[in-house]
Amino acid sequence: MPIHLTSRRQFIAQMGAAAALAHSSADAAEVDENLIAILNDTHVGGKHPATASIPTHLRDTVAWLVGLPKRPAAVVINGDLALNSGLPDDYTHFAKLIAPLHEAGIPVHLSMGNHDDRDVFYQVLTTEKPATTAVASKHVGVVQTAQANLFLLDSLKARMVAQGLLGEEQLAWLAKALDAHADKPALIFAHHNPRLGGEEKHFPGGLEDSEPLWELLVARPQVKAYIHGHIHHRNFFHHRGIHILNTPATSYVSNPKESTTGWTMATLSPTGGSFTTHTHLPEHEWNGAKVDLQWRA
């Protein structure tokens, strides 16, 4: 399974937060079952000062989510949780920053990126390591929501290697999982971008097995969208009827003239979804920008 940080008791015990607000008013907040939050590329470092931009961006995003009048049904943080090479202090700091989500009772689902280290992550959050895995050395899983099934993939080929890889075993698992959950639209989450639609659209450091993945997805009409990070930018494409959403990084961008940091809120329906970008710069042109997508038949 992917790393699903939904166990409030275990999380609090592990992080030593014995004084958690177990009966806070936030626990009684309403939930919008059609709403999910999408973050990626948090890149938290263990030695980042509290006032540095990267932890501040994640902290502010978490506070915004917790403060919503209706909480999202799920928060997906789609890879590159750690700063660079996945050190223990990185994950300790990351876990503390997302702790308010757990205190609010909001389910959090994490995937791995090329700056993560699975073994080190589990050394820090030992209670989150599954007893058995569906795919050897990978963290995959299905999150069922009111309007869609979310399929979380593990595209980490190797730590500090830009390219991603799913592999034949994970593709076989995905095919079976999609066939077993064909009752709702399927949204595919992985950290790496697919190498489809031309290099001018898709960073070539993406998934090495993009073509076999796409053949698998296209053959299953319940698959509506593929959602990724990795590029630290924002844009929307589609390939052979399936939407491709490149969601903005929460941490930093390489070119501030072209991109900015933020997160995405998705309101889903049986026939499509509205994807709204929120940015840490209130005046940025992306802030509040909404894209309405219709699912293929």
In this prediction, residue 216 carries a pLDDT of: 98
pLDDT in tens, 236-259: 999 999 999 999 999 999 899 999
- 3-294: what fold? Purple Acid Phosphatase; chain A, domain 2 (3.60.21)
Cβ(248)–Cβ(261) under 8 Å?
A: yes
Residue 14 reports pLDDT greater than 80: no
Residue 29 reports pLDDT greater than 70: yes
pTM: 0.91
- Domain map (residue ranges) of the chain: 3-294
Our CA angle for 247, 86, 194, nearest 5°, is 35
Residue 281 reports pLDDT greater than 90: yes
160: CB partners within 8 A, 6+ apart: 84, 85, 114, 115
Cβ(219)–Cβ(179) under 8 Å?
A: no
- Give 134's pLDDT tier (boundaries 50, 70, 90): confident
Distance CA 109, CA 228 (A): 14
pLDDT in tens, 137-184: 888 899 999 999 999 999 999 998 999 999 999 999 999 999 999 999
